[in-house]
Amino acid sequence: MYYIVTGAAGFIGSNLVKALNDRGENNIIAVDNLKSADKFRNLVDCDIADFLDKEDFRKKMREGFFDGLVVAIFHQGACSDTMATDGRYVMDNNYQYTLDLLNYCQEEEIPFIYASSASVYGGGKDFRESRECEAPLNVYAYSKFLFDQIVRRRHKLSAQVVGLRYFNVYGPREQHKGRMASVAYHFFNQYRAEGKVRLFEGCDGYENGSQLRDFVSIEDVVRVNLHFLDHPEVSGIYNVGTGQSQSFNDVAAATINTLRSREGKGALTLAELKQQGLIEYIPFPDALKGKYQSYTQADVSALRKSGYAAPFLTVEQGVARYVEKLLEK
């Protein structure tokens, strides 16, 4: 029997594969599109049973190749570029592909745990898993939103279906994402290369670098996924964030101070980091105006009611751990 992880060479997918390995599971079918070939590096330290291109996997699934052979499917594969303009591709990759997998898992009566996104909330201020809070700002967010609506309409489920609305995830194995990698990753590289980090100037009434996001460590994201794997009786759509927003300035300060500590230097306050030119601000991009979430904060009450009780890492804790791992490499 096999676990199937789609997007397995990507950020969250590869961390899930590694976590399953840590549990002693290596009968894993890794599914991905390696058009960006460097993603293979995320699987080098993982043990899998087979690797399949996404389109080959879809064909085999339609032909019944995996019938009776699957324990559960973790669906992490998606076009995650919020600036994508090819709507047909985004809808096929993020919506239709996911719908095909949902139907398959219901027919096979196996758990289906899939990646949704906090982007479905758009520019709102209320981040509850409720229809009136949802107003996507781009086609990526719409593709995630639309599939969540399908799940809500399925009143009779033959097996577990869990949608996880990830907020701003950061951590190891995201290097292939380029400009879509987390700000913690970019800040780390900027400071190492230039001795300073660059943040956006203020927008939407926020001061420079003070826009607020719910930054969540990949360590916590993996733990939530495995929690639902261990509780197949629970279905639903859940936010995956810390429940506490923090500023981009906080992420920058945590990154710089962890690196300074490794250099034998003391921590600095935000004011001191600005004064010494270690943080600077650049104009807010025109391309993001009207499409940017200046504030997110997950309402995690539904997640807690589902039985998930573990604490979440703060930015200061999680970013420090992430920077240490980046330095190890």
Which residues 6+ apart lie within 8 Å of 200 measured at CB?
A: 208, 209, 211, 248, 281, 282, 283, 284, 285
Q: Where are the beta strands (DSSP E) in 76-231?
A: 112-117, 161-166, 168-170, 197-200, 212-213, 215-217
Q: How many CA atoms lie within 13 A of 182 on its CB side?
A: 29
Catalytic site includes residue 140: yes
Choose among 161, 166, 144: nearest CA to 236: 161
Active-site option among 18, 177, 196, 291 = 177
DSSP 8-class letter at 295: B
- 68: buried, middle or exposed (CB in 10 Å: 19+, 13-18, 0-12)? exposed
Residue 329 token pair: 């490499």
Catalytic residue among 114, 140, 185, 238: 140
Residues 188 and 323: beta-carbon distance below 8 Å: yes
Pairing of strands 212-213, 246-247: antiparallel
177 catalytically annotated: yes
DSSP per-residue letters across 62-96: HTTTTTT-EEEEEE------TT---HHHHIIIIII
Q: Can you tell me the distance from the alpha carbon of 287 to that of 56, in angstroms, rounded to the nearest whole number?
A: 36
Question: Which residues are CB-contacts of 114 (< 8 A; sequence separation ≥ 6)?
Answer: 74, 75, 76, 98, 101, 102, 147, 161, 162, 163, 164
Give the number of C-alpha atoms closer than 13 A to the C-alpha of residue 91, restricted to the C-beta side. Answer: 8
Task: Name the residues annotated as catalytic.
Answer: 140, 177
